[in-house]
Amino acid sequence: MLTFIKEIFTWWNNQTLGTRISTLLFGKFVGKDHLGNKYYQDKKNRRWVIYSGEIEATKIPQEWFSWIHHINNKIEKTHTLEKYDWQKKHVPNQTGTNKAYNPNKNKNATKKKYSTWKH
């Protein structure tokens, strides 16, 4: 019940009521990525994503980014991208979280690199 109320009044959590209705009526499920996002397409070749959790555009991995933007490439059919051991997994934008990059976490950054003026 709470999820349904969130769909009516908020757009930043998962999907809106209008998106749910149009997905049920016109959407054809295409696939799902490792983050839990679901991808749909209609007969007019319009494409959209239903995000898992909070809506954040950086949550779309590389293999689905090209599909949703109609960019043809060799992974268009399978949506699987062969990655090497040294490649990192896709991570959404971490700004505003505890995992965000902070140069001041470095121990050497706590030392002043300048001297202040004295009056």
Is 32:39 a contact under the CB 8 Å cutoff?
yes
Low-confidence ranges of the chain (pLDDT < 50): none
Q: What is the pLDDT of residues 46-60, one digit of tens each?
A: 999 998 877 888 888
Which helix (DSSP H) or strand (DSSP E) does residue 40 occupy? strand 38-41
Nearest to 63 by CA among 38, 88, 80: 80
- Residues 5 and 117: their CA atoms lie apart, in Å, by 58
- Residues 107 and 118: their CA atoms lie apart, in Å, by 26
What pTM does this model have? 0.64
Burial (CB < 10 A; 0-12, 13-18, 19+), residue 23, is middle
pLDDT, position 114:
74
pLDDT, position 47:
92
